[in-house]
């Protein structure tokens, strides 16, 4: 799971073709749906994702 997180959220993202620093809205929706399907988020929302990212940062 750590490798998936690093690939999708760490440093340069690889989902959006137009911006290497931030995911576009469409790519962000894909990420949120994927994390929900992998049971890493309870719902595919930006707010829950931001909370989860903060928790991961506090762990490291």
Do 12 and 18 touch, CB atoms closer than 8 A?
no
State percent of the chain over pLDDT 90.
22
Q: Average of pLDDT values for 39-56?
A: 90
Q: Measured between alpha carbons, how far is 30 from 9 in angstroms, rounded to an integer? A: 12
pLDDT surpasses 60 at 1: yes
Q: What is the pTM of this model?
A: 0.60
- Residue 15 has what pLDDT? 60
The H or E element containing residue 35 is helix 25-37
Nearest Cα to Cα of residue 53 among 16, 1, 10, 3: 10
3-state secondary structure of 16: coil
Instruction: Answer whether residue 13 shows pLDDT above 60.
Output: no
């Amino acid at each position: 799971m750590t490798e998936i997180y690093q690939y999708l959220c760490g440093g340069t993202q690889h989902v959006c073709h137009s911006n290497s620093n931030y995911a576009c809205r469409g790519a962000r929706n894909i990420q949120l749906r994927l994390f929900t399907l992998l049971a890493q988020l309870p719902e595919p929302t930006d707010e829950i994702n931001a909370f989860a990212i903060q928790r991961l940062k506090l762990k490291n």
